[in-house]
Amino acid sequence: MLKQVAEGVLVHESEFIQSNSVVVQGRAGVLLIDPGITSNELADLANDLRELGQPVVAGFSTHPDWEHLLWHAAFGDAPRYGTARCAASIQDLLSHADWQARVAEGLPPEYAEEIPMDLLGLITGLPAGSAQIPWDGPIIRIIEHRAHAPGHAALLIEERGVLVAGDMLSDILMPFLDLEAADPLEDYLTALRLFESVADGVDAVIPGHGSVGGAGQLRARIKQDRAYLQALLDGGDPDDPRVGPSASLEWLPDVHQWQVQRLTQREQD
């Protein structure tokens, strides 16, 4: 079910890690951001849009993780975009004959049979440095950064006061680092500073996974994520409920420990 979070901005939440598909209404139709996750959920989303009388006129993937690259035939053949780095990353994967097997390794077993793969990742990279999404709707500013994944982009819908954060600023997930990057912690801190620079105009923040945050939540989530990262920098144990005994997902503490181990190994190499 679509829920309105701001004028002309709606969200559909998946059962899988509270994944958020974002719909932005334009003049002739909608922009669909990170639609997911299962075939039934995507079909339901397409049906909701038909009932609204809103065809999909464009799509956008915030970054090249599989759950942000999905699509459904019912959305039509509208152009689908990502940043140049995002598109290059997924195009490299799709160039391998066994790409489906590679993606399948990362799929949650309980959903694997329900996730459509045939249209995964068929996006066009926007020119490097593009500042806006090309479409007939409200201006959507692209805030590209290096945190979490190559070519990750948050989207700022300034006239609606909405920040679509991709896989960041979650109330249920701690920062997931791109541990293949040269400086994953500083990349993440830099992205948080970018978000902080636009915070005054944001009334709603939509994470890729988790709850939509209202006015004031953006700064609170930046502060929480920064504290987590600082704890990793200092070699301490973060005081963060997302990775503690009360974590909403039982596997998150293990992922946190894995990140700590990888960072320690990098320092020793």
For the chain, what is the domain count?
Answer: 1
Percent share of the chain, pLDDT over 70? 100
Residue 58, pLDDT score: 98
Half-sphere exposure of 146 (CA within 13 A, CB side): 11
Gap between the Cα atoms of 22 and 2, Å rounded: 9
**Could you give the CA distance from residue 219 to residue 119 in angstroms, rounded to a whole number?**
36
What pLDDT does 267 receive? Answer: 76
Q: Is the pLDDT of residue 174 over 90?
A: yes
| CATH code for position 102 | 3.60.15.10
Tell me the average pLDDT across 154-182.
96
Given a cut of 90, whether residue 148 has pLDDT beyond it is yes
Per-residue model confidence (pLDDT) at position 124 = 97
List the one residue out of 153, 173, 171 whose CA is nearest residue 163: 153
pLDDT range class, residue 268, cuts 50, 70, 90: confident
Are residues 155 and 133 in contact, defined by beta-carbon separation less than 8 angstroms?
yes
d(CA 241, CA 77): 42
pLDDT single digits (tens) 48-106: 999 999 999 999 999 999 999 999 999 999 999 999 999 999 999 999 999 999 998 88
> pLDDT grade, residue 156 (50/70/90)?
very high
How far apart CA 7 and CA 161 sit, in angstroms, is 9
The confidence score (pLDDT) of residue 70 equals 96
User: Smallest Cα–Cα separation from 163: which of 140, 190, 186?
Assistant: 140
Strands 56-60 vs 30-33: parallel, antiparallel or unpaired: parallel
Handedness of CA 195, 92, 65, 57 (dihedral sign): positive
235 pLDDT band (50/70/90 cuts)?
A: confident
User: Chain-wide mean pLDDT for the chain?
Assistant: 94
pLDDT of residue 241: 93
Expressed as residue numbers, the domain containing 153 is: 2-129+138-268
CA–CA dist 176, 52 (Å, integer):
35
User: What is the per-residue pLDDT for 189?
Assistant: 97
pLDDT of residue 110: 87
